[in-house]
Amino acid sequence: MLDWFSKTKVDAVTTMLTEPFVHDFVRANIWHLRGRDIDLLVDTGMGIRPLAPEIDTPAGKPLLVVATHIHLDHVGSLHEFPLRAGPRHSAAYFNSMDDAVTYAHMFHDLDGAVSKLPAPGWKAADYKIPPASLTRTLDEGDTVDLGDRLFRVLHLPGHSPDSIALFDEADGLFFAGDAIYDAMLIDNLPDSDRSAYRRTMQRLLDLPIRIGHGGHGPSFDAKRLREIANGYLRRTDGIGA
């Protein structure tokens, strides 16, 4: 059987999963963090193969899944989990997962969508994201409490209008989603806003992070975050939304 997901143990409580056979444009990072009272899963990938069986959480321990935004590569398996949190800004759209909002239609015609078939007869043209109504909405200033770790929700639009991130102010751990990541930042989607993205980058320059785990690419420290943010600001100086 094809092992659809790769897993990397980052530290004693953190595991990163990704989908190595998915086109790199939509190959997102999935983060599992073990908390004292509740585990956290940040984003859920494409949903091409079931994700839930891959998440090692003790029986009876709650698992809160946070979608950082509603794009296809972050919400594909959200429906598999009972505790689903996501941005208040796009909450209503999770009820239908309309292709026009998730951009699932982009995957239908993506050349080389997968490098290996997940199942016999599978076709990218048939790809759909099941609805996954949120059980909790998150907005700027809200908190996510794992018992031994408290994350503050930051609303960081630009890549998408609904992008949120989770920041542990006590420890400096930052789950960034697509607000910032160590790869070419995408700011030309129909719902992207370069002016908002620039404001997000300026805000992030002052964020005292220790380590950032993004929606794509490798993890980064504060120095690298500043390099990415300043690089974006230089590239877009004078460019409107």
The 10s digit of each residue's pLDDT in 15-54 is 999 999 999 999 999 999 999 999 999 999 999 999 999 9
Looking at residue 1, its pLDDT comes to 52
Return the pLDDT at 14. Answer: 98
Q: Which residues contact 130 (CB under 8 A, 6 or more apart)?
A: 47, 79, 97
Strand partners, 7: 17
> Of 104, 38, 100, whose CA–CA distance to 72 is shortest?
104
Taking the whole predicted model, whether its pTM rises above 0.85 is answered as yes
CA angle 50, 53, 59 (to 5 degrees): 145
For 67, residues 6+ apart whose C-beta sits below 8 A from its C-beta are 43, 44, 74, 75, 78, 84, 85, 86, 87, 94, 134
pLDDT, tens digit, 9 for 90 and up, residues 206-234: 999 999 999 999 999 999 999 999 999 99
Name the pairing type of β-strands 136-138 and 143-145: unpaired
HSE-up (13 A, CA, CB side) for residue 240: 0
Q: What's residue 95's pLDDT?
A: 98
Helix/strand/coil percent split, the chain, to 5? 25, 25, 55
Which tokens hold the place of 145?
């409490």
Query: Does residue 8 register a pLDDT over 90?
Result: yes
List of domains in the chain? 6-235 (3.60.15.10)
- The rounded percent of the chain whose pLDDT value lies above 90 is 95
pLDDT tens string 119-174: 999 999 999 999 999 999 999 999 999 999 999 999 999 999 999 999 999 999 99
Closest-CA residue to 175 (of 122, 214, 135): 214
How far is the C-alpha of 224 from the C-alpha of 203, rounded, in Å? 15
Return the pLDDT at 240: 54
Average pLDDT over every residue of 74-103 = 97
Contact of 66 with 40, CB cutoff 8 Å: yes
**Residue 100: what pLDDT?**
92
Q: What is the mean pLDDT of residues 102-129?
A: 94
